[in-house]
Amino acid sequence: MTATAVQPYIDLFGRLESGMPGGRLPWLAERRRAGLERFRDTGFPSVKAEAWKYTNLRPLESLSFDLAAPSPPTVGIDRLPTVMPAGESAYRLVFVDGAPRPDLGLTSGLPVGVVLMSLGEALEKEPALLEEYLGRVAPVEDGKPLAALNTAFLADGAVLRLPKGVVLDKPVELLFLATGADRPLVWHPRLLIVAETLSEATIVEHHVGLGGGTYFANSVTEVVARGGARLRHYKLQREGAGAFHVATVAARLERDVDYSSFVLAMGAKLARHEACVTLDGPGINAHVSAGYLVRDSQHCDITTVIDHAQPHGSSRQVCKGVLDDTARAVFQGKIVVRPGAQKTDGYQINRALLLSEKAEVDTKPELEIYADDVKCSHGATAGELDDDALFYLRARGIDRDTARGLLIGAFLGEALEEVGVEVVRNAFAAQVEGWLAAREAKL
Amino acid sequence: MIEIRNLHANVDGKPILKGIDLTIGPGEVHAIMGPNGSGKSTLSYVLAGREGYEVTDGSVTFNGKDLLAMEPEERAAEGVFLAFQYPVEIPGVSNTTFLKSALNAIRKYRGEKELDAMQFLKLIREKTKKLGMTDEMLKRAVNVGFSGGEKKRNEVLQMAVLAPKFCVLDETDSGLDIDALKVCADGVNALRGPDRSMLVITHYQRLLEYIVPDYVHVLAFGKIQRSGGKELALELEKKGYAEFGVNEAA
């Protein structure tokens, strides 16, 4: 950590603090300041920090970013790059360079009591909801420097609250577009998802870069799910080639919740997706899975912490990735089983497929088990395409490149099986196919 | 149809095939029998074009073309089919996708129109039914979770769908009980015809009771030691390979 890297953010905070949205809310000013102080104390994490051992943020530290303008750019967008296919209806919030664009959103017809709005709007309309949760699931005391930085600059993002028993009829799509402006911009989106007892919804985040410029998207998502709620939480990350994408997800699940998340990471120069899921009640089922496709000199870090705090919980993590060229990937997966979290069933598998000798993957599974009646398994592999399978396909008339494409697609397809919502799974599969087609065209 | 002349091949630098001569005419079924390590599987892999099987001398001419100069996929498209002794499991690729990709790749090579999903389904339904295979086996990933018999039936299904001109059956009987063997043999026999040649490689004479060959060859020490009619198989069953200097206790 260097003081010089932190200083610009402190200066920026000093200049902007008084003008930030929700300035009349004392609790918000307090939490922002706590975030800034925490970030000032820790600075950017270095590779000496265990959680950042394999992801070096030096290239990010050395850049200076301007905070994206609070008023959204008025760039015209002819066709929104939605994950949900045309004709599939969804509720939608759209953000451009971190700022909401209500003119592009779709929130009409929401069931009574559902809150789906930008965080800026919620600061006006739902301050009590925000006060109750913001910074409570992902508190700055967690010691995550970038989450603390997000809290310091907390200004906008998305809020979804599902009242008790409400089952959303359509998925909620959260679209984050980056224009890749001519100067490096930073934004700190904050997402809050509160699912009350027995509510159900599918949430699809899409982070997409429209240009190759440098920017820094530093998001924090807080999820609270109450008794028996069912959440499907998917994310497609296709940031631009010059992007730094750091996402911290903190989810607190209460009894009997079924939470299933999947991130497909393909974009950005450097990306990190960190998901910390706490099973804070009995009988919870949590799936926290991921797939990634990286090439050139991309860096992709998937870090998870699954915290079994109560008995009879099960967690499942499948992470599969494909690396080409000199790309690098990191999978850090920690499963904690607290004393008393008996009958826990934890499963974790991480597989990487290396298409180039210069690609590299680092895997760090960790099990911390303090209960004695649990079942936990983990496994990790890294390898090349199977020669036997390749020959088998070719011996049936399928040419080498097509055979390789089939095998790579199949490899990732197994991870996509974890995406339980068919329309999303198909959209993700189409992304994988597009990636493979681009690769083949290059060969 | 296929002419193998003085074929020599090494595996890991070690000579395995040491001068094979074999001519198979259209519609003929030839059997190659031989003890373990005689070079049976090496011959099948060399014909299919597997990497790591280095041809050091000789030639293989297939319908007038130099087979050894072709990539494995070109050989398949020209009409060479190897039924694997150990069919490979391919997780994540459904049997249907696999068969459709293969068939359309071959049709494309031959300048024929690719089949659409409906046409393909119709074709494959008919073939699977004949082999007593279920639709469910088509949906499953290629050979994943298949029993030994199912894997071999799947090989025969691929053969039926791809309609090759020359089939090499590499120990298709290995690991099969008699019922599964009969199903596979029936499938293979149904594909016999005046334009389709076969090379049936086996360790046991039993298979040749069900797939009756026109000619039998004995392969030992990388060379064909003796050739004859189908009665040669029976003779081998009785006497073993001792006459060729092979110690069968090994």
Inter-chain touch A402–B105, beta carbons under 8 Å:
yes
pLDDT in tens, A147-171: 999 999 999 999 999 999 999 999 9
Is B77 an interface residue toward A (CB < 8 Å)?
Answer: yes
Is the pLDDT score of A126 beyond 90? yes
Inter-chain touch B73–A394, beta carbons under 8 Å:
yes
- Residues of chain A with a CB closer than 8 angstroms to some CB in chain B: 386-389, 391-400, 402-403, 406-407, 409-411, 413-414
End-to-end CA distance of chain B: 36
Euclidean distance between CA atoms A384 and B234, whole angstroms: 46
Q: The tokens 């993590």 sit on which residue?
A: A317
pLDDT in tens, A315-340: 999 999 999 999 999 999 999 999 99
Q: What is the band of B109 on the pLDDT scale with cuts at 50, 70, 90?
A: very high
pLDDT in tens, B203-225: 888 999 999 999 999 999 999 99
Tokens of A167: 């089952």
- Which range is least confidently modeled, A381-390, B22-31, B158-167, B174-183? B174-183
The distance of A354 to chain B (nearest Cα, Å) reads 17
Contact call for residues B29 and B200 (beta carbons, < 8 A):
yes
Tokens of B139: 């949906």
CA angle A418, A411, A244 (to 5 degrees): 75
pLDDT in tens, A170-214: 999 999 999 877 789 999 999 999 999 999 999 999 999 988 899
Nearest CA in chain A to B143: A389
Classify A367 as helix, strand or coil.
Answer: strand
**What contacts A290, CB < 8 A, 6 or more positions away?**
A262, A263, A264, A265, A273, A302, A317, A318, A319, A320, A321, A415
pLDDT of res. B146? 93
Instruction: Name which residue leads in pLDDT, A2 or A119.
Output: A119
The distance of A423 to chain B (nearest Cα, Å) reads 19
Q: Which of residues 166-225 of B touch A (CB under 8 A)?
A: none
Average predicted confidence (pLDDT) for chain A:
94
**What contacts A175, CB < 8 A, 6 or more positions away?**
A80, A81, A82, A92, A93, A94, A95, A104, A206, A208
Q: Which of B49, B76, B92 is facing A396, going by the closest CB pair?
A: B76
Q: What predicted TM-score, i.e. pTM, was given to this entire model?
A: 0.88
Euclidean distance between CA atoms B59 and B5, whole angstroms: 5
Average predicted confidence (pLDDT) for chain B:
93
Is the pLDDT score of B250 beyond 50? no
Is the pLDDT score of B198 beyond 90? yes
Q: Which of B48, B50, B105 is facing A399, going by the closest CB pair?
A: B105
Report, in this order, helix, strand and coil percent for chain A, each rounded to 5.
Answer: 25, 40, 35
Is the pLDDT score of A134 beyond 70? yes
Which of B78, B88, B112 is the best mutation test for A, with the most CBs of A within 10 A?
B88
pLDDT of res. A212? 87
Q: What is the band of A75 on the pLDDT scale with cuts at 50, 70, 90?
A: low
> Is B51 exposed, middle or buried, given 0-12, 13-18 or 19+ CB atoms closer than 10 A?
exposed
Inter-chain touch B71–A393, beta carbons under 8 Å:
no
Inter-chain touch B91–A407, beta carbons under 8 Å:
no
Which of B41, B80, B98, B158 is the best mutation test for A, with the most CBs of A within 10 A?
B98
Question: How far, rounded to the nearest angstrom, does the alpha carbon of residue A317 sit from its chain's CA centroid?
Answer: 15
Is the pLDDT score of A2 beyond 60? no
Strand partners, A276: A250, A305
ipTM of the complex: 0.96
Residue A262 dihedral angles phi and psi, to the nearest 5°: -150, 130
Is the pLDDT score of A78 beyond 70? no
Q: Positive or negative, the Cα torsion across A7, A8, A9, A12? A: positive
Q: Which of A389, A391, A398 is facing B102, going by the closest CB pair?
A: A398
pLDDT in tens, B54-91: 999 999 999 999 999 999 999 999 999 999 999 999 99
The distance of B212 to chain A (nearest Cα, Å) reads 26
CA dihedral A214, A159, A229, A370 (to 10 degrees): 50
pLDDT of res. B143? 96
Nearest CA in chain A to B47: A395
Q: Which of B51, B91, B105 is facing A398, going by the closest CB pair?
A: B105
pLDDT of res. A295? 97
Contact call for residues A281 and A253 (beta carbons, < 8 A):
yes
Which of A388, A392, A408, A432 is the best mutation test for B, with the most CBs of B within 10 A?
A392
Nearest CA in chain A to B161: A396
